[in-house]
Amino acid sequence: MLLPLILIAFDAHPVHDDFVHTQSVTQAWTQTGSVWAAIRAAWEHTQYMYRTWQGTYVAMFFSALQPMAFSPRLLFLTPLLTLIGLCLSAAYFSRNLLRVTLRTDTSTCAVFFTVLMTLLLQFLPSAREVIYWPSGTPYTLSVIMIFVILGLLIKLHMQQQPHHFFLQAGLLFLCGVVLGGCPYPLALGGTLGLLFVVAWTFQTRSPARWASVSTLAGSGLALMLVVIAPGNHLRQEVIGQPMSAAKAVLQSIAECAEMTGKWFSPQLVASALLLVLLLAPILRSSPFRFRHPFLLMTLSFGCLAASFVPPIYATGVEGYRVERVLCSLYMFYVPLMLLNLLYFTGYLIKRFENLGSLVDIHEQKGPTIAVMALSIVLMVWGLFANAIMASPSIGAAKSLLTGEAATYHQEMSLREKQIATSESAEEARSAIHPLMSVPVVLPVDMLPYQKDGGLPGLMRSYFRMHMLADEYGAGSIPQAEWDAINQ
């Protein structure tokens, strides 16, 4: 599942906003050869965007300080690190939920993790804007932070005398700051969820209660800084009049209900069957009582619906349907749904003793095989129901095997070379032509439709700076060459 997604990362190329965000960092690096100068440039770019465009300073900082700012050949690191971060954080969350809380064995935890990652990656609405587009990866960073925060809080909750408490509470505070400074949807939904977690930990006198307060303080303060940014108002003037707050909330509830219905698909039913079969005996013997499933469902829906509010408030209903926003909402939905599934299954088993026969089904070979076969059928059905070639792993594998990815890489490399060697922005603009094809998991090539603006000039500057850095070395480019870049 991961191999095609990793391999096609080496064929990815920067597009549109990537050049805008990394321009100052690229200039600082190629002109000085200093990493610290590049970091300062990224911070200055973040401050500029905070004042003039939007307040999500963590997202802006990471969009500026991309590997591609140091070399176009390093762009593959962005999707690679994004995939690694998502896998490791999901594994940490799965381990603490299953191994630490429910005391399952390693194989059961591995199955849960596999189901979680299959739902996250294989059925992701689109991977191109949240994994392969450097400027869109902060949306996935939000999800990574949520997994890390949940994993750490679960671990602290299960420890009667937490080890290294202050270190972990400090780490949670930093994770909260990153979450709150990331794109608006999950920053708001995640912070609201943390508020519910704090209330629950104090009501139950959980060992994690003060750590949860630390996390909420981090995300809340960060989100407050995002909201008060001067750039938000300036950007809204460009976009147009926002929706009223009350209408945005009501519309978000309706849209969230519609999308959760659409996302409750065959593959989710398959995952539910498989996990119930696997975890029902463990849930029956668990000391947890699972008393409030409907409260958990309501609060989970509230967190998810809150994540719909920022894009709908700012740009209307179409705002949340932008691929990167929709994908982040889906990746938030998946762990919430699985948590509710486990909790509701535990509630039913604890409340209705006559479900014991269903709990023991795993001991009967025939029914077990039947349930597993049905799960496989539903998974395959889900693939075709969502256009199988649009599935990230299958789409990436198809592009690699048919040579589509290699053709795209060759065409983009040729275009970039022509832009780098052009004598002016106008000549760079004339080198831009539509591509023969673009792999389904890589960002759409909009440059032929955007070339009338200032983007070709930015691209020429970016590629020329790196071409000269390769020739002379970063920090050693002659002044005459620098002057020629800016002509």
Query: Is it the case that residue 5 has pLDDT exceeding 70?
Result: yes
**89 vs 273, higher pLDDT:** 89
Residue 234 — very low, low, confident or very high, per pLDDT cuts 50/70/90? confident
Check whether 366 has a pLDDT greater than 50. no
- Nearest 10 degrees: CA dihedral of 365, 366, 372, 376? 140
- Band (360; pLDDT cuts 50, 70, 90): low
CA angle (46, 448, 325) in 5-degree steps: 45
Most confident range (mean pLDDT) of 263-267, 393-397, 463-467 is 463-467
**What angle separates helix 165-180 from helix 57-64, to the nearest 10 degrees?**
90
- The runs of H, that is alpha helices, within 352-443 are 356-359, 365-385, 392-402, 404-420, 425-430
The answer to whether 146 and 176 have CB atoms below 8 angstroms apart is no
**CA 326 – CA 483 distance, rounded (Å):** 43
What are residue 224's phi and psi, to 5 degrees?
Answer: -65, -40
Residue 146 near residue 97 (C-beta atoms within 8 A): no
> Which pLDDT score, from 0 to 100, does residue 372 have?
59
Under 8 Å CB-to-CB from 237, ≥6 apart: which residues?
none
- Report the distance separating Cα 253 and Cα 251, nearest Å: 5
Give the CA diameter of the chain. 84
pLDDT of 138 higher than 90: yes
pLDDT tens sequence across 183-194: 999 999 999 999
The pLDDT value recorded for residue 335 is: 94
Is residue 388 a contact partner of residue 394, using CB atoms and an 8 Å limit?
yes
Q: Please return the burial class of 158, using the count of CB atoms within 10 Å of its CB with bins 0-12, 13-18 and 19+.
A: middle
pLDDT attached to residue 358: 53
Average pLDDT of span 292-317: 92
Q: What is the mean pLDDT of residues 414-428?
A: 86
pLDDT band for 146, please (50, 70, 90 cuts). very high
Percent of the chain with pLDDT over 90: 52
- Tell me if 151 sits within 8 A of 95, measured CB to CB: yes
Give the residue among 306, 183, 182, 330 at the shortest CA–CA distance from 248.
Answer: 306
User: Tens digit of pLDDT for each residue in 458-477?
Assistant: 888 999 999 999 988 888 88
What is the distance between the alpha carbons of residues 248 and 309, in angstroms, rounded to a whole number? 6
Q: pLDDT tier at 48 (50, 70, 90 boundaries)?
A: very high
| pLDDT at residue 428 greater than cutoff 90 | no
Whether residue 385 is predicted with pLDDT greater than 60 in this model: the reply is no
Range with the poorest average pLDDT among 29-38, 350-359, 439-448, 467-476: 350-359
Q: Determine the Cα angle at 338 with ends 186 and 165, to 5°.
A: 65
pLDDT on residue 379: 60
Considering the chain, what is the average pLDDT of its residues? 87
Provide the whole-model pTM: 0.91
User: Which range (99-113, 279-293, 341-355) has the least confidence?
Assistant: 341-355
Report the candidate in 116, 124, 105 with the shortest Cα–Cα distance to residue 339.
116
